[in-house]
Structure formats: C-alpha cells, structure tokens
Structure 1
Amino acid sequence: MTARLLPLLLLLCSNIFMTFAWYGHLKYKASPLWLAILASWGIAFFEYSLMVPANRLGSSAYSVVQLKTIQEILTLVVFAGFSAWFLGQPLKWNHYAAFALIVGAAFLMFYEPAAVRT
C-alpha cells in the first residue's frame, strides 16, 4: 500500500509548492519581477525535492504515463483550490466541465480492458 500511496502524497505536496512558485507572485504584482523570480526558484527547490522522489518511488507501482496523468490531475485539483482560495478567482461551470473531461481521460489512461479472445 505504501508503494502506491506515498508517491501520491509526495506528488500532491510537490504540486502545492509548484503552484505557489508559478502563480503565488500574481497576488503581489507590485513587487519587483526579479524578487518574484528568486522567490519562485526558492519555492521550486522544495517542489523538486518532493517530485523527484515521488517519480522514483512511483515508477515501481505505476507506469510513467500513469504517473504523469496522476501528476496532471493533482495539478488541476491543487490549482482549482489555489485559484479560488489564494487568488480569489473561483471556478465557473465550464471549468468544472473541462475538469470532468480530464477525469474521463484519466480513467482511460488507467483502464485496462480484458484480453480479447480470438
């Protein structure tokens, strides 16, 4: 269980750091760009410190394609919460519809049909 769960937790935490690194500075547009870049790089260090082990550990339980799909879904979930909570930009119906389509795509990524009998 740990081999499948720990990579997911690490990916979730890394996505939280990366979302702040990429978008957190938008709340502070008055600060100099160079400061936003340095702060983002500093935050991204922690993201990489979680992402690399997540992918290393996760590759023993998931395919690389599945890991990337998980990472993208987590990115969207984290970003949706971040956008509404931190930036004050709540999601609209069309955003939810788009996320539902992406969840459908993720289902297909993990779906393994039964072997076809000939």
Structure 2
Amino acid sequence: MAIVSRKVSDLSNKEAPDKEFVVVVVRQHPSLDEPKALDVLTAEATKFVEVDDLVMLEVQQPDGTKRDVVMQLAEFNKLAPNMEEVLKNARKTRGRVPGTRVGNGNGNG
C-alpha cells in the first residue's frame, strides 16, 4: 500500500506539482476574523492585481479601538494643503513625545 499526496488549488481545485504553487495570505476580509492562507497556482496568482499609490492608515479612537483604512494617495494628500510638510513634522509612533525629557521627577534632571 502507498500513500499518495496531491496538491490542488484552493481557487480552481486544479492539481499541480508543489513548485507551481504560491501561498496567498488574506490578511483582512469582511468574512474573516483572522488571516487565512490559500494555496494558489502561479498562473492564478496573476489575477491578483497590485494597486499602486495606496496609503495604509490605522485610526485610533478615543476609546482605544483601532481600525485599518486604505486610501488612494491622491485622496489622502487632499486632506491637507501641505500634506508632505504635515507628514514631515508629525511625531513618531515610538519613543518619547517631542519636547519631553528624561529626569527623575525632582527637578534635578
């Protein structure tokens, strides 16, 4: 008796050798609550079209909830007349807030 393993595309159910497959990770989808991986034939993967000039944002609400937003770069740039300057002067997401300094709290700093 022999055990035979075969790989089929999650999209088309077509069988092919391992070397003809790519893995596509679906990171966000309305039907999902966690990322999922699809085994897809390389020829089928050409149907996934890359969209250029996207801005990926994380919106943090006052209550601590977060949501991810994707926008076209041109639409994002319209939000401020000088968006390039706004981004250049924006604070970083890590480290201390600008204008603060390290000290021991007793004024001897």
TM-score by length of 1: 0.22
Larger Rg: 2
TM-score by length of 2: 0.23
* Higher RCO (C-alpha 8 Å, min separation 6): 1
